[in-house]
Amino acid sequence: MGSLSPANALFLVPERLFVPDKIVLLPDNIANQIAAGEVIQRPASAVKELMENAVDAGATEIKLIIQDAGKSLLQVIDNGSGMSETDARMCFERHATSKIQTIEDLFHIRTMGFRGEALASIAAVAQVELKTKKAEDEAGTYIEVENSVVKKQEPVAVPNGTSIAMKNLFFNVPARRNFLKSNAAEMRHIVDEFTRVAMAFPNVFFSLTANDQQLFHLEAGSLKQRILQLLGNNYNTKLVTVKEDTDYLNVYGFVGKPDTAKKTRGDQYFFVNNRFIKSAYLNHAVMSAYREMIAADSFPMYVLFIDLDPTRVDVNVHPTKQEIKFEDEKIAYAFIQAAVKHALAQFSIMPTLDFDLDASIQQLPSVQKPFTEEVKSATAFTSIYKGFTEKHQAHIIEPLRRTELKHWKDFYEPSPAVSSQESTAGSEEAIAKTETGSFQSLLAVHHSSLTSEDTALTIQLHNSYILTQTPNGFILINQQAAHERVLYEQLTAAMQGKPVATQRSLFPVTFELTPADVAIMNEVLTDLSQLGYLIEPFGKNSFVIQGTPADVLQGNEKLIVESLLEQYKNFSSEVKFSKREKLIRSAAKQQAVKSGNKLTESEMARLTADLFNCKQPNISPDGNPTYLEFKKEQLEKMFSR
Ligand SMILES: Nc1ncnc2c1ncn2[C@@H]1O[C@H](COP(=O)(O)OP(=O)(O)O)[C@@H](O)[C@H]1O
Ligand SMILES: [Mg+2]
């Protein structure tokens, strides 16, 4: 225990002395220090607060200067409105704000700040120097505050705007100071906060200088330019515009094309009324729009701004204000999911039939004010709303989810009408068998148990697509994409286990390569033999083809190997793929039947069967859909029946 204060000493001997009232009001500096614990947790918190204040002050230029990861100096200089002498003193008081006056104002917040806590908190845990001047004032004001006490105040000649320097953060709270992480870690937090604010206001100039080195210099410009400045030029041709305006809310911004998805969660930003927020729920909405376009364990890039009437969100949830409450989170979810899907579809990354979303969103009862409880609950039952929130969307033909594809029989579940009349003991048994059985057995069951109208029918369209009738509708298979998927899985298995059977060439062909290609070829020879290509070095820069996969047509070995090598080189920039993965992908692409090739009935049947025996039948190795399913009920909806 520490030393006893006189007051405590009294409590030790209560029977002898009168006990005074024990409640005291904490002195301001201590109250501020406690409050500061919530608002200023680390240097990066001050970055956020000071930069947001500058934005709120209408600045068009905001500079952040850091020394020692903000531990010794963290300064924000802006060219905004500045403060009068009185305001300059007042701004360090707790609950001092120019941004709200009444409780009503709280529900119409358009500024970033509103609690009037930030500067008071900073002044409680650091040494602060403020220089500020309004355009209309002759002189500016200089104020020094330490431990919540004004140490110095004098007029000063400064440019219009405000500069706030926070020095020696937590100098008076050693426990907190010791709690700070390494400079590298704190600097990462600082860059994160800087990025979030800079991203939200692309029309403002921002710079960040750390230890006298300029890390960012962001000229004012468009949102797209700002994204490229902050996240890198690699996104230059990889951004898809998202824009949906409705009466209820607007969504705009950019999402990355599926091939930019990363293995680590990183470039993901939501802003609600320009405020950066974290929301696992809304993140899910975006992820679901990408479903099947990217690997399940990867993260798409997005920068999305959601603007809506401030009365419909509550930003007052958390002191650091990264969480917000929507009046109706489900609607926000549905809009974001639809907007992202729409955007991705327009770039023909995903198949769709009709994307007249704006009109349908406008018709949502919830879009039409007033938004009463009654309207809200009615909304939840409208088919269009369900269409957004549930997966059965009449206007979007979705590739199926992977889990739904485990059992190919799902396609062949008799529709209710059929099953009531046609279901026989025999077909049930056969259908049960299909969980482990083949496509052929399914079709067989199917044929025997269905009426002649429902008999599976397979035709080839444009020598490129296979159309197969199913009891519940039909599926349209892209033959090339489907075959790439089939080969990809077969070759992957071969790479790990039994090699692909090779057919020996009767007349082994030799070919010559450039020195660069020789190096590549030597690198992949062993793996190639696993895939059925027997190639051997044959003197300087030459190779001989002793055999090719048994399935591959003979006679053109040289061309086949050359185009395989070309494919492989095309993948060379894909650092995310291993050498083997690239090889497998190349071989799958090279060997796959191409669009435009005529297929026989039995080839179509075999391809369809092979496809649905795949682990992941619904997308090609490139991430494109291999087939689309059209369900009877969707067709009926589309025809408005
Ligand atoms: N950079 C600035 N330029 C002009 N005024 C500022 C600036 N920073 C702070 N102020 C004034 O100081 C007040 C208190 O700031 P702060 O403690 O961050 O609270 P809040 O931003 O919640 O109002 C603000 O309301 C604003 O009037
Ligand atoms: Mg503020």
Q: How far is the CA of 197 from the centre of ligand 2 (A)?
A: 13
Arithmetic mean of pLDDT, 150-171: 96
Using the predicted structure, report yes or no on whether residue 155 has a pLDDT greater than 90: yes
User: Across the strands, what pairs with 11?
Assistant: none
**For residues 590 and 512, what is the distance between their CA atoms, to the nearest angstrom?**
20
Nearest to 83 by CA among 150, 149, 137: 137
Using the predicted structure, report yes or no on whether residue 556 has a pLDDT greater than 60: yes
Using the predicted structure, report yes or no on whether residue 425 has a pLDDT greater than 60: no
Using the predicted structure, report yes or no on whether residue 4 has a pLDDT greater than 90: no
What lies within 8 Å, CB to CB, of 399 at 6+ separation is 291, 292, 350, 351, 618, 619, 625, 627, 628
pLDDT of residue 50: 97
Ligand 1 atom nearest to 92, measured from its CA? 17
Q: pTM for this one?
A: 0.56
Q: Does the CB atom of residue 97 touch ligand 1 within 6 A?
A: yes
pLDDT of residue 2: 41
What confidence tier does 223 reach under pLDDT thresholds 50, 70, 90?
Answer: very high
Residue 240, both tokens: 């898809």
Burial 582-593 (b: 16+ CB within 10 A, else e): bbbbbbbbbbbb
Tokens 């979030």 correspond to what residue?
A: 196
Q: Does the CB atom of residue 146 touch ligand 1 within 6 A?
A: no
Q: Does the CB atom of residue 81 touch ligand 1 within 6 A?
A: yes
Q: How far is the CA of 140 from the centre of ligand 2 (A)?
A: 20
pLDDT of residue 144: 97
Tokens 């700070």 correspond to what residue?
A: 180
Q: How far is the CA of 97 from the centre of ligand 1 (A)?
A: 6
Arithmetic mean of pLDDT, 56-70: 96
Q: What are phi and psi of 362, to 5 degrees?
A: -60, -30
Average model confidence (pLDDT) across the chain: 79
pLDDT in tens, 281-303: 899 999 999 987 888 788 999 99
Residue with more model confidence, 637 or 364:
637
pLDDT in tens, 449-498: 333 343 457 899 999 999 988 878 888 999 999 999 999 999 998 888 88
pLDDT of residue 357: 40
What confidence tier does 382 reach under pLDDT thresholds 50, 70, 90?
Answer: very low
Judge whether 302 and 341 are in contact, CB under 8 Å: no
Q: Does the CB atom of residue 57 touch ligand 1 within 6 A?
A: yes
Q: Does the CB atom of residue 393 touch ligand 1 within 6 A?
A: no
Residue with more model confidence, 522 or 101:
522
**Beta pairing, strands 268-272 & 302-308:** parallel
Using the predicted structure, report yes or no on whether residue 157 has a pLDDT greater than 90: yes
Segment among 69-78, 333-342, 432-441, 586-595 with least mean pLDDT? 432-441
Ligand 1 atom nearest to 96, measured from its CA? 14
Segment among 160-164, 203-207, 276-280, 572-576 with least mean pLDDT? 572-576
DSSP 467-514: EEEETTEEEEEEHHHHHHHHHHHHHHHHHHSSPPPEEEEEEEEEEE--
pLDDT of residue 362: 44
Segment among 16-25, 32-41, 83-92, 558-567 with least mean pLDDT? 16-25
Ligand 1 atom nearest to 111, measured from its CA? 21
Using the predicted structure, report yes or no on whether residue 13 has a pLDDT greater than 90: no
The listed range with the strongest mean pLDDT (83-87, 352-356, 389-393, 620-624) is 83-87
Q: Which amino acid is at 219?
A: E
What confidence tier does 84 reach under pLDDT thresholds 50, 70, 90?
Answer: very high
pLDDT of residue 10: 47
Residue with more model confidence, 357 or 521:
521
pLDDT of residue 409: 40
**For residues 32 and 52, what is the distance between their CA atoms, to the nearest angstrom?**
20
What confidence tier does 371 reach under pLDDT thresholds 50, 70, 90?
Answer: very low
pLDDT of residue 136: 96
Q: Does the CB atom of residue 90 touch ligand 1 within 6 A?
A: no
Segment among 26-30, 99-103, 254-258, 372-376 with least mean pLDDT? 372-376
Ligand with smallest separation from the Cα of 84: 1
Residue with more model confidence, 21 or 42:
42
Judge whether 48 and 193 are in contact, CB under 8 Å: yes
Share of the chain above pLDDT 90, in %: 36
In what helix (H) or strand (E) does residue 152 lie, and over which residues does it extend?
Answer: strand 149-156
Using the predicted structure, report yes or no on whether residue 221 has a pLDDT greater than 50: yes
Residue 511, both tokens: 């070919």
pLDDT of residue 60: 97
Ligand 1 atom nearest to 100, measured from its CA? 23
What confidence tier does 94 reach under pLDDT thresholds 50, 70, 90?
Answer: confident
Arithmetic mean of pLDDT, 4-28: 62
pLDDT of residue 504: 85
Using the predicted structure, report yes or no on whether residue 628 has a pLDDT greater than 70: yes
Residue with more model confidence, 182 or 155:
155
In what helix (H) or strand (E) does residue 77 lie, and over which residues does it extend?
Answer: strand 73-78
What lies within 8 Å, CB to CB, of 365 at 6+ separation is 375, 378, 379, 382
Using the predicted structure, report yes or no on whether residue 351 has a pLDDT greater than 90: no
Q: Does the CB atom of residue 91 touch ligand 1 within 6 A?
A: yes
Arithmetic mean of pLDDT, 84-113: 83
DSSP 246-257: -SSEEEEEEEE-
Share of the chain above pLDDT 70, in %: 77
Using the predicted structure, report yes or no on whether residue 398 has a pLDDT greater than 50: no
Chain-centre distance of CA 433, in angstroms? 40
